[in-house]
Amino acid sequence: MNTSYDLVTGNIAMLISMPHNGQLVPESIACNMTKTGHQVPDTDWYMDKLYDFAQDLGIYIIKPKYSRYVIDLNRNIDGINLYPGANSTELCPTTSFDLSPLYITGKEPDEAEIKRRIDGYWQPYHQALKNTLADMKAQYGRVVLLDAHSILSHVPRFFEGQLPDFNFGSANGVSCSTELINKIENLDLSPYSTVINGRFKGGYITRGYGNPAENIHALQLELSQRTYMDEPSDHYNEDKAEKIKDKLQIFVQCLVDFTREK
């Protein structure tokens, strides 16, 4: 059993990945971090709680135990910037979204430490993703991978103004079929705002595993945290959350239905 992630197997052809849901930081890393690093403010808070209905539907779920500050599972290990020209965070982030340092000066991870984290955290998660998708493809034929994220509605480092509520990404149409995108475009998610392939087009997981020609359809959803939290705190707002979960269930059911079409 791997101790760096949790994998729940299901019985339908859909997998939800939550690569930034983890909050743990090993003491061997935390001892070199600043107060901001310890607080892990850039967590995709409560993804497992928002999607708690998914397991009952028979959906596979994979999520890490450790924070994105340990290593970002939605980045390529070769360090390529997914959004060229943007001020993006690294594979092993050294600053938070608001540019606060995550490490005590001189204690940032070096190449050897980054390699250790790749081997200990990144590789196991991605091997599990790869194996699970392969097993699902063999069993079901058509598979949908949803990479589930959330982010503050205002992050000047990454985008100007307020982010839309539902931010869908399909790598500009490469990671899933046009048919699936059309179905999502026709969903009634009002009163929430939506955009497809806007600021967030999908990270490494969406781009790396989506292959519609092989019937593996990957999609990222970056959900604005203002829809279910009391920003800028990390407080979960039950009233807001119940409303957005109604729409999330409509969206997820659309993906489930798509897996069953032949």
**How would residue 1 be classed by pLDDT, with cut points 50, 70 and 90?**
low
Q: Decide if pLDDT at 5 tops 90.
A: yes
Residue 250 has pLDDT above 70, yes or no: yes
**Amino acid 81: pLDDT:** 73
Class of domain 5-260: alpha beta
Query: pLDDT grade, residue 87 (50/70/90)?
Result: confident
Tell me the chain's radius of gyration from C-alpha atoms.
18
Give the mean model confidence (pLDDT) for residues 92-101.
97
Domain ranges across the chain = 5-260
Q: What is the pLDDT of residue 79?
A: 74
pLDDT band at 85 (very low <50, low <70, confident <90, very high): low
pLDDT in tens, 98-143: 999 999 999 999 999 999 999 999 999 999 999 999 999 999 999 9
Determine the pLDDT at residue 88. 81
Alpha helices in the chain (DSSP H): 27-30, 35-39, 47-50, 54-57, 111-117, 123-140, 178-185, 204-209, 238-260
Tokens representing 35 are 């107060």
pLDDT value of residue 208: 97
* pLDDT surpasses 80 at 234: yes
pLDDT digits (tens, 9 = 90+) for 157-182: 999 999 999 999 999 999 999 999 99
Q: How far is CA 44 from CA 17, 62, 178, 223, 245, in A?
A: 12, 14, 28, 9, 16
